[in-house]
Structure 1
Amino acid sequence: MESRVAEFWGAPDLSVQIGGGASERHEAAAPKDDMDWAFGLSTPELRLFTTGLKQRLTPGPAATLGARVRRFFSDLPVAPETDEPSPRLLVGALPFDRNADDCLFLPERAANRIWDMSSTASRPAIRALMPEPSRAAYEAAVTQALEAMRASQGGAEPVDKVVLSRSLKVQGDGAIDPFALWRDLKADPTAARFLTPLGEGAGGAMRRLVGATPELLASKRGPAVFSHPLAGSARRSTDVVQDEAAAQDLLASDKDRREHALVVEAIMDLLAPYCSDLRAPPGPALVSTRTMWHLGTRIEGRLHRPDETSAAELAALLHPTPAVCGSPRDRAAEMIHALEGYDRGFYAGAVGWTNAFGDGAWYISLRCAETCGDQARLYAGAGIVEGSDPAAEADETSGKFQAVLRALGVDEASV
């Protein structure tokens, strides 16, 4: 795919095939320190690979992200023409909690691909799968959420939706290679694969977030802005007839369409003050991954002041959407904190990039795992609205675990 280097290197007068000819000189294995800070984002439209750490963006909360990004690029010196240019873009991850610190950085160099000798290694055997919370505890939390939502309906700020997640701790008999996991997530070509470093974890090992998400939070190219929220899901079947029935049942489901409408309405309301033109189709369409059906709506707009609004600022504005948090956002976040019992970290946050011109793309970090040494933690969630069934919501989260479990070499697991 041909694309302006402005979207990658920050130079508006050249073109490059992203991932195909950006940097043939890095075909050999990069030094370990460079691979510690390797970043990858591969979508049907774009491949972006970088290695090395040149400079960290000062960490901070979502409310200050736009200002911090503008200041970072305004202070960034222009490299001498004789130097090998570094990509003039920030890559990294936003956490779920709007008040927690993000992890964005200026990479050292563009890479032709994420390449490491370990990515050719066989997977370690998985010794244990440990749900946290347990399935029973998760179903109990869904019941509590439904009761709290009903009790809120007579108040000043009723809660219409809350997204409850659970995690699955995975123990390997050796190091879990994040590059091999990245490689094996390629089995779902419709998803956006991502790999991003999060800093050192226990024992000095690098923590990384690796996944294959189906959901675009926000992208910006010039004045054009896009979002493609997904809400309302059903597990796919290997039986063609049952799979089609599941898709049509989802499309006809009043509960799932109400859940989806809450997400679309919230995103449209947030984007409206920034856009001169904003539109979405009247109803959702079916979106499929290898393991799940989703209801999706593509939202498109044109910004009033594109030079003053970056992709990072748009991501911070929208995040977290009702697709991963609930509605209204602050009340739903309070319920999540009270009921889930663990810190989501960067799960249901966002992974992406933005450049000095403000263009970029951010994807919600779903269908993912945080890896560190011989352990990984997988995450999955489900939207809870009136009419939700606790057992069905637990089944949905189990289905969402399967993409990463398969990439880890675990066949269909009941968790």
Structure 2
Amino acid sequence: MIDHQMVSEALAEQLLHEYRTGASFFFSSPERTILAKGVFAAVPEEDGSGLEHLSQRAAAVLRDAEQSGRKRPIIVGAVPFDNAKPAQLTVPDEVWCAGPLVFEQSVQKHSQQGMAYDIQPVPEPEAYIRGVERGLAGIAAGDYSKIVLSRSLRLTSPEKIDIGRLLQNLAQHNTNGYTFAVDLPERAKEESHSARTLIGASPELLVSRTGFRVSANPLAGSRPRSDDPVEDQRRADELLASAKDRHEHAVVVQAVAAALKPFCRKLNVPAEPSLISTETMWHLSTEINGELTDLSISSLELAAALHPTPAVCGTPTDKARAAIKEIEPFDRGFFTGMVGWCDSVGDGEWVVTIRCAEAEDHALRLFAGAGIVAGSRPEDELAETSAKFRTMLLAMGLNNE
């Protein structure tokens, strides 16, 4: 008798090992594991339209794929933080799907030990603190009530980055989240071309759709984990009791619920947040569930309506986004965008692109952000970003920034 669960688990791990940089899309969630290869068609860009018509363009490409004989084709890829920038969405040539990844406790977590990195913070920590102070001044002036400010680390090595190994490490370290690797457009480098990969392990589900069922899991309010179990529990309890963090979380939940409500006949929004944890962080979490009014509403359409949430941008969105462009000294690219998939019937999963990096040859650019509200302390927000970097750093065999 075949144990189908064991077969599915083995296939999921096989898909992870068969990922190849520059030729694949990989996505794992608590529900499934997807490996896609090649490009059958790309969702075309449309200058100046932002996300307004993205789901319609994607649906048209999926219809064309079906008419070409593809059975239930899917769109895979990523959407950047800035709605004015082009998305990277394609219909793959080949797709394999299995159940969720399951790792035995005894599985060895490999790292790229021995690799030396030069680490350059952008901005420097002192400059980030000054940026947070500018954000707080904007809040005090009434320009916005919340702003999310991020920083990056650029890591370079004499050796080429092993993206496949890094992806496996991320998946093994973050078994309850969403692990992904997405090919990005090549960036011309003098006479050669350099492949880029968006890679990460996000804890945050932006939205998923299965038939009429819709789910979202906004996270806001965080504390770093501690290796000391007593201290770790103290931090968790403090986060759950924190009025500041609960207010920050409530703002995000209200925004997500308001964006989903027009699409749903039923929407269940818990009155109180709960706690979830990753290997490196505690988060306040709210699981929102709803029932669609119409099956013509795809997961990508829902994701576009939600993006960006106050958890990665701020509120009001337009004013926070404008201030982010003034304060942050770099382009976020796909960081704090969304990554995932949507099939031809509209089902799909989209996660918030956090705990991630852009990898290119011998370099990685890591990102981390923190939500700034009235009462935030710049030094605490700096510490929070340092803790969030650890998801990627641990997968690289590095314990500290």
How far residue 166 of structure 1 moved from its aligned partner, in angstroms, is 0.3
Paired residue type of 1:261: A
Counterpart Cα distance in 2 of 1:282 and 1:63: 31
Paired residue type of 2:311: A
Residue 407, structure 1, aligned to residue 392, structure 2: no
Counterpart position of 1:390: 378
Paired residue type of 1:357: V
Q: Is 2:160–2:362's contact at 8 Å kept on the other side of the alignment?
A: yes
Residue 338, structure 1, aligned to residue 326, structure 2: yes
From 32, 45, 52, give the equivalent of 1:59.
Answer: 45
What aligned pairs does 1:194-343 form with structure 2 within 5 A after superposition?
Answer: 194-201=180-187, 202=189, 203-306=192-295, 308-343=296-331
Counterpart position of 2:167: 182
Counterpart Cα distance in 1 of 2:81 and 2:8: 29
Q: 1:325 to 1:348 in 2, by over 3 A?
A: same
Residue 380, structure 1, aligned to residue 368, structure 2: yes
Q: 1:86 to 1:109 in 2, by over 3 A?
A: farther
Counterpart position of 2:4: none
Paired residue type of 1:50: A
Aligned partner of residue 82 in structure 2, secondary structure: coil
Structure 1: 5+ residue runs without aligned partners? 1-16, 115-119, 153-157
Q: Is 1:41–1:193's contact at 8 Å kept on the other side of the alignment?
A: yes
Counterpart position of 2:104: none
Counterpart Cα distance in 1 of 2:228 and 2:162: 33
Aligned partner of residue 93 in structure 2, secondary structure: strand
Counterpart Cα distance in 1 of 2:229 and 2:9: 35
Counterpart Cα distance in 2 of 1:76 and 1:253: 50
Counterpart position of 2:155: 170
Paired residue type of 1:142: V
Q: 1:27 to 1:391 in 2, by over 3 A?
A: closer
Q: 1:404 to 1:106 in 2, by over 3 A?
A: same
TM-score by length of 1: 0.86
Q: Is 1:19–1:49's contact at 8 Å kept on the other side of the alignment?
A: no
Counterpart position of 2:25: 39
Counterpart position of 1:69: 58
How far residue 193 of structure 1 moved from its aligned partner, in angstroms, is 0.5
How far residue 44 of structure 1 moved from its aligned partner, in angstroms, is 2.0
Counterpart Cα distance in 2 of 1:319 and 1:386: 23
How far residue 29 of structure 1 moved from its aligned partner, in angstroms, is 6.3
Q: Is 1:18–1:48's contact at 8 Å kept on the other side of the alignment?
A: no
Aligned partner of residue 339 in structure 2, secondary structure: strand
Counterpart position of 2:350: 362
Q: Is 2:111–2:396's contact at 8 Å kept on the other side of the alignment?
A: no
Q: Is 1:279–1:301's contact at 8 Å kept on the other side of the alignment?
A: yes
Counterpart Cα distance in 2 of 1:295 and 1:21: 33
Counterpart Cα distance in 1 of 2:345 and 2:297: 10
How far residue 65 of structure 1 moved from its aligned partner, in angstroms, is 1.0
Paired residue type of 2:80: P
Counterpart position of 1:155: none
Aligned partner of residue 168 in structure 2, secondary structure: helix
Aligned partner of residue 338 in structure 1, secondary structure: helix
Q: 1:19 to 1:343 in 2, by over 3 A?
A: farther
Aligned partner of residue 39 in structure 2, secondary structure: strand
Q: Is 1:230–1:296's contact at 8 Å kept on the other side of the alignment?
A: yes
Identity value in percent: 39
Paired residue type of 1:305: D
Counterpart Cα distance in 1 of 2:97 and 2:193: 28
Mean CA deviation greater in 52-61 or 369-378: 52-61
How large is the RMSD of aligned CA atoms in angstroms? Answer: 2.5
Counterpart Cα distance in 2 of 1:244 and 1:121: 28
Counterpart Cα distance in 2 of 1:291 and 1:123: 20
Counterpart Cα distance in 2 of 1:188 and 1:385: 28
Q: Is 1:162–1:326's contact at 8 Å kept on the other side of the alignment?
A: yes
Q: Is 1:208–1:370's contact at 8 Å kept on the other side of the alignment?
A: yes
Paired residue type of 1:129: I
Counterpart Cα distance in 1 of 2:91 and 2:9: 18
**Matched pairs, number:** 380
Aligned partner of residue 36 in structure 2, secondary structure: strand
How far residue 396 of structure 1 moved from its aligned partner, in angstroms, is 0.1
TM-score by length of 2: 0.89
How far residue 77 of structure 1 moved from its aligned partner, in angstroms, is 4.2
Q: Output one character per residue of 1:119-150: Cα deviation in whole Å (capped at 9) or x when no partner.
A: x9955613211100011101101011111111
Aligned partner of residue 141 in structure 2, secondary structure: helix
Aligned partner of residue 36 in structure 1, secondary structure: coil
Residue 48, structure 1, aligned to residue 34, structure 2: yes
Counterpart position of 1:14: none
How far residue 310 of structure 1 moved from its aligned partner, in angstroms, is 0.5
Counterpart Cα distance in 1 of 2:81 and 2:141: 26
Counterpart position of 1:3: none
Aligned partner of residue 410 in structure 1, secondary structure: coil
Q: Is 1:237–1:243's contact at 8 Å kept on the other side of the alignment?
A: yes
Counterpart position of 1:7: none
What aligned pairs does 1:93-108 form with structure 2 within 5 A after superposition?
Answer: 93-108=78-93
Q: 1:23 to 1:239 in 2, by over 3 A?
A: closer
